[in-house]
Amino acid sequence: MITEDEQAARSERALRAAVAAAGDLGLDAGQATIVYDVFSVVVDLAPAPVVARVPVVTPPGSGPEQRERFQRTELAVAAWLHGRGEPTVLPSPLVPAEPVTRDGFAMTFWQRIDDTLPTDYDVVGRMPDVARLHAVLRDYPGELRFFPGVEGYMEASFDSVDGREDLLPAADLARARAEWAALSPLLASEDAFGEAFPGVTVQPTHGDAPFFNIIETVDTTYYSDFEHVGVAPVEWDLAHTGAEALAAYAAAAGPLGLRPVEPVVLAAMERVRDLQMVACLAMAPALPLLVDGLAGQVDAWRVSEPWRL
């Protein structure tokens, strides 16, 4: 496991890289500070009205090519949403809208949102925003991959924790591999998904809990963090939100022309999300807080019934 001192040094290197890259792009970042530090180090490049997001903890098997693809897609989708008039955190107009690599860190630059409100995880209250996002994303014209958030991630992560009883006992790993072996063929392509779930449509989705990735100010609610945007059923964005949230989503989705949530698809997506959380333990050596942070979700999966379609 990485030590606290090593984590702090990694964050400082990311900060310095972001400031140096900002300087290369003509930005004044003389008052830069770290405002968030978990999977990514988020740097406020003050006094420039720009924020840099610098990934520092990435899944096993996630190489530079995949990371750049995720970043370019995110930038493109966010810019498109903004162009449609949707309140979305915008790639900074002060620099080119593309990933920048500096000192081994690949980063993106975003317009700073000032006067943000404290984080509010009101999942039920945010469901109308999620439905609105789904309705708008249906028209996205760019190329998106099918379930990009799990592409190559599960297998490499399970391999990484193999033999690490301190992270995942062997019995749990065996079950996770078995469930993923049953579920992964359904996500291999749109055709495979359609054969498993006839008549269930797929579309562009946020891909990573859109109800949590919302930034609020007094006047505006902004969509953010489209790193895992891709084609999937809408249930992918709704997994484990609960009955009240699903009812709120349905009330907003119907008038927008979105289809009803399919319970069997939701159950499958919830189990894939469970396996994502289990696989996330592979990043714990680089981010030790994940061990305690994921304990409740892993325990809930452990006592659940094994997956069957």
Report how far residue 285's alpha carbon sits from residue 157's, in angstroms, rounded to the nearest whole number.
12
Interval 33-50: pLDDT, tens = 999 999 999 999 999 999
Instruction: State the pLDDT at residue 120.
Output: 76
Instruction: State the pLDDT at residue 93.
Output: 96
Q: Which two tokens stand for residue 179?
A: 């469930």
Residues near 283 by beta carbon (within 8 Å), at least 6 away in sequence: 39, 57, 58, 59, 60, 157, 290
Query: For residue 158, is pLDDT > 80?
Result: yes
Confidence of residue 61 (pLDDT cuts 50, 70, 90): confident
Instruction: State the pLDDT at residue 185.
Output: 96
Report how far residue 188's alpha carbon sits from residue 68's, in angstroms, rounded to the nearest whole number.
22
Q: What mean pLDDT is predicted for residues 297-301?
A: 97
Domain 4-111 has CATH 3.40.50.2300: no
Return the exposure string of 225-240: e unless at least 16 CB atoms fall within 10 Å of the residue's CB, then b: bbbbbbbbbbbbbbbe
Q: Which two tokens stand for residue 192?
A: 């495979």
What percent of the chain stands above pLDDT 90? 93
Instruction: State the pLDDT at residue 297.
Output: 96
Query: For residue 284, is pLDDT > 90?
Result: yes
Instruction: State the pLDDT at residue 62.
Output: 86
| Domain range list for the chain | 4-111, 123-302
Whether a cis peptide bond, with omega within 30° of 0, leads into 47 is yes
Query: For residue 121, is pLDDT > 80?
Result: no
pTM score of the predicted model? 0.95
Interval 4-32: pLDDT, tens = 999 999 999 999 999 999 999 999 999 99
Label residue 142 exposed, middle or buried (CB < 10 Å: 0-12, 13-18, 19+).
exposed
Instruction: State the pLDDT at residue 159.
Output: 97
- Say if CB 193 and CB 187 are below 8 A apart: yes
For the domain made up of 123-302, the CATH class stated in words is: alpha beta
